[in-house]
Structure 1
């Protein structure tokens, strides 16, 4: 039983090094693929690749657009093309952290009858956590990205205009969350009664069979990639839509992660501090986010103690 960890990163190199080290300490046989945006920060590749089964690749950064999904797909391609052996793929970011010894999740995955663990729902249904209107606005419109970033005061000033335009008619949408973008309602979408649009959290644990299916589907249907490249927040729909519509797999509708979205704005969850520790040690939570080592390193120290307390040491040493 071998897990591949895809870590998508862009900031806090010290925190990235720490994350990779704790994964390799707790799970020496795992494979770690770091997909890093070098335009945002530098990263000492040699320091990481000196560890066994750790590889660093370059990725283009971006929020709200297709960049995150593109990096995910490129990572899948890399793993399969390099014939990396793994049974499960877990994607996290450089601001995630394990919350318990990784042999625990390895044991859990070795025994499960599910093919994956992630949130999912029909974006046009009442189960959509964003609301069906937002689900439609995200994925049934094709957006133009202006590249213009608006300051907080500018977003506040223009908010009444945005709400007026978005609520008075069905054809045009304006959004400021990730820069100024303008969307037109798509006259033709890839979605129908046999291919529904699904959404959910970007963070997933999926079997190798699912990874292989995504890889082959994208090769056979590049038009879906082209469509999603013009949607808003495609990372919260693209993979779910492919996997759920396949009808081939059995998924558990939770991703086994802890994220605090209380008072969240523009996709920024709460920064987890030592005060959150009691909430992170539930048996059904294996990872949590977001952590900021400069804001509170004590929570990471506490998690390290828990992770290593019962981890069976392998051949790897820091």
Structure 2
């Protein structure tokens, strides 16, 4: 039988924090199917203490910030989750530093009644965005084509890097067009079985899109985990998407990482309508308070 909800975890550190999150999910959702992709190159994750509902992706991907390896780890986790006999109706992608901020009954009721197939932040990266201060960086990240020509300098320099941005050129060198739009947004999302099937099938049958992201990541500007899955789901004609990842995240302006949440954020988190929040320190007292609020004690 299918489970109503399952989880894919992406982890690489803070084993006690991972164990606490898994224990909380077990108590809230009655031992749901959980697949964890853990980057064992960063630290070990001993298997003792986890239930039979918890499985680990093997072998693991060696992941890095802003690398396509994070996308690989995510897709392998989703694939492993839907290969299980108890594959869920819905799944939630979480990091080890996330935590629930809404009771299980409310989460399950909202998903069961949902008219959507996925809750995922997605914003289009259009050619017009290059002229806007708010869109210039993402246009450069995702809609330009960068390449390197080695050996052009006689003084031993490693060659030159070029960036093409005009649509007459980029439409020939990138996968994006008016018929296949480019999107970006938070990597954390919630989706149902139908969206998972589309995502996995598209990734398998259209290797050129992944090849583009892998090629462009060499120039260290693109963030594949914030665009690849968003672009696949955003272009799916038969999927209904809500532009809301159901996460409470506080991004300070002009910073690359979200703010760490604590006691002062409790009311805002629990009244936000979000299902989960990120990110937390492992031993923050607010986690005990959240346990009581979501009924995980």
Structure 2: how far apart are the matches of 1:128 and 1:27? Answer: 47
2:38 aligned partner: 36
> Structure 1 127/209 Cα, relative in aligned 2: closer, same or farther at 3 Å?
farther
Structure 2: how far apart are the matches of 1:254 and 1:97? Answer: 17
2:210 aligned partner: 225
Aligned-pair RMSD on alpha carbons? 2.7
> Pick from 4, 11, 21: which aligns with 1:9?
11
> Pick from 184, 201, 206: which aligns with 1:216?
201
Q: State the shift of 1:233 in Å.
A: 0.5
Structure 1: how far apart are the matches of 2:84 and 2:102? Answer: 30
Structure 1: how far apart are the matches of 2:130 and 2:108? Answer: 30
- Point out the more displaced range, 92-101 or 282-291: 282-291
Q: State the shift of 1:192 in Å.
A: 0.9
The answer to whether 1:270 aligns with 2:255 is: no
After superposition, residues 58-97 of structure 1 pair within 5 angstroms as 58-97=60-99
1:133 aligned partner: 136
Q: CA contact under 8 A between 1:141 and 1:186: conserved in structure 2?
A: no
> Pick from 273, 287, 294: which aligns with 1:300?
287
- Number of aligned residues: 272
Structure 2: how far apart are the matches of 1:59 and 1:241? Answer: 22
> Structure 1 129/97 Cα, relative in aligned 2: closer, same or farther at 3 Å?
farther
> Structure 1 130/117 Cα, relative in aligned 2: closer, same or farther at 3 Å?
farther
Deviations 1:163-202 (A, max 9, x none): xxx9xx9549xxxxxxxxxxxx896000111001011111
Structure 2, unpaired ranges of 5+: 149-160
Using structure 2 for the length normalisation, give the TM-score: 0.83
Structure 1: how far apart are the matches of 2:243 and 2:117? Answer: 11
> Pick from 285, 289, 302: which aligns with 2:278?
289
After superposition, residues 172-191 of structure 1 pair within 5 angstroms as 188-191=173-176
Structure 1: how far apart are the matches of 2:113 and 2:85? Answer: 24
Q: State the shift of 1:46 in Å.
A: 2.6
- Point out the more displaced range, 249-258 or 17-26: 249-258
Structure 2: how far apart are the matches of 1:282 and 1:62? Answer: 34
Q: CA contact under 8 A between 1:97 and 1:289: conserved in structure 2?
A: yes
